[in-house]
Amino acid sequence: MSVEGKTAVITGSNSGIGLGVAKELARLGANVVLNSFTDTDEDHKLAEQIAMETGATARYIQADMSDPDACRALIEKAGQVDILVNNAGIQHVAAIPEFPVDKWNQIIAINLSSAFHTTAAALPVMRAAGWGRVVNIASAHGLTASPFKSAYVAAKHGVVGLTKVTALETAEEPITANAICPGYVLTPLVEAQIPDTMKKYDMDRDTVVRDVLLDRQPSKEFATVEQIGGTVAFLASDAAAQITGTTISVDGGWTAL
Ligand code: NAD
């Protein structure tokens, strides 16, 4: 069994990894539900474009993943959800004593609690259908830490823990739950950090990429959104039916160090 004909809900998917995963799953024949907190013409056009290019059904549903009720409403509005990809996430960088409390709360809500709420709403739907896949986009920071990223690292470690509990609660059913732990992926979010870092360290772009961004990524290459999409598709395939409660690193060797 492949993802063909399955319905995938991908949170935070009007940009970056989420959008890449949605495109890859649609290319492989899944119907996709895109999401973010905005509700613009461009958001809906992204879904139309995916549908046009792949022949899959693609919808955009607005829902703010910092709001528990909205997380649950997203699943309800989607109707069917065979593959749930919890991807929405934000970052803030500051030392612990200076870390703004509102940023801490927002990161925990969007990067961690949203996955709990969507999973809680999706599991009964998956059980009724007799099949399901939960794929949480964690991070290399779900397995290791960096200074100044307290909320992000705590949330991503939490996502890995939530993944394990989801797997245990569904272990005897045809439902799996796993986390993907990407290293650096060249998304608009990461691309936007390059000019400032060039200025800060007086470095050219290649040096910033190699010595700052990819410092901890031994391959010295970014992972791609297509590779993350392919990993989601693998986790949704029959070959992965006994893979549950684990993490798959897509990090060029970061966590091997
Ligand atoms: P991105 O900023 O391009 O995408 C984040 C997505 O989340 C966007 O679609 C954004 O609209 C959405 N989002 C933000 N706040 C939201 C909210 N309140 N409600 C709904 N949607 C919201 O960043 P990305 O790099 O594609 O990151 C996607 C995920 O991958 C995140 O969870 C991130 O932590 C994780 N990740 C990224 C990298 C990387 O190097 N880019 C590495 C490891 C993990």
pLDDT in tens, 35-45: 999 999 999 99
Rounding to the nearest 10 degrees, give the CA dihedral for residues 182, 98, 102, 187: -30
By the 8 A CB rule, do 47 and 71 touch?
Answer: no
Which region among 104-113, 156-165, 192-201 has the lowest average model confidence (pLDDT)? 192-201
Q: What is the pLDDT of residue 66?
A: 98
Ligand 1 atom with the smallest distance to the CA of 20 is: 26
Identify the residue whose tokens are 């290649």: 206
Domains and CATH numbers, the chain: 7-185+223-256 (3.40.50.720), 186-222 (no CATH)
What is the per-residue DSSP string for 50-88? Answer: HHHHH-S-EEEEE--TTSHHHHHHHHHHH---SEEEE--
Identify the residue whose tokens are 């897509």: 250
Q: What is the pLDDT of residue 101?
A: 98
Amino acid at 240: A
Whole-number percent of the chain with pLDDT over 70 = 100
Say whether pLDDT at 153 is over 70. yes
Atom 33 in ligand 1: which residue has the minimum CA distance? Answer: 89
pLDDT in tens, 204-223: 999 999 999 999 999 999 99
Closest among 56, 57, 74 to 65, alpha carbons compared: 74
Ligand 1 atom with the smallest distance to the CA of 91 is: 34
Determine the Cα–Cα distance for residues 171 and 178; give it in Å rounded to an integer: 12
Q: How far apart are the first and last CA of the chain?
A: 36
Q: Is 35 exposed, middle or buried (0-12, 13-18, 19+ CB in 10 A)?
A: buried
Q: Which of 14, 40, 84, 187 to mutate to test the pocket of ligand 1 (most atoms within 8 A of CB)?
A: 187
The mean pLDDT value of the chain amounts to 97
pTM tops 0.95? yes
Q: What is the pLDDT of residue 192?
A: 85
β pairing state of 247-250 and 175-182: parallel
Tokens of 132: 């399901």
Residues 6+ apart with CB under 8 A from 206: none
pLDDT in tens, 45-89: 999 999 999 999 999 999 999 999 999 999 999 999 999 999 999
> CA-based angle 212:215:217, to the nearest 5?
135
Say whether pLDDT at 119 is over 70. yes
By the 8 A CB rule, do 142 and 159 touch?
Answer: yes
pLDDT in tens, 122-150: 999 999 999 999 999 999 999 999 999 99
Say whether pLDDT at 164 is over 90. yes
- Top-confidence residue, 246 or 188: 246
Say whether pLDDT at 189 is over 90. no
Q: What is the pLDDT of residue 188?
A: 86
Q: What is the pLDDT of residue 245?
A: 99
Q: What is the pLDDT of residue 1?
A: 62
Q: Which of 189, 219, 226 to mutate to test the pocket of ligand 1 (most atoms within 8 A of CB)?
A: 189
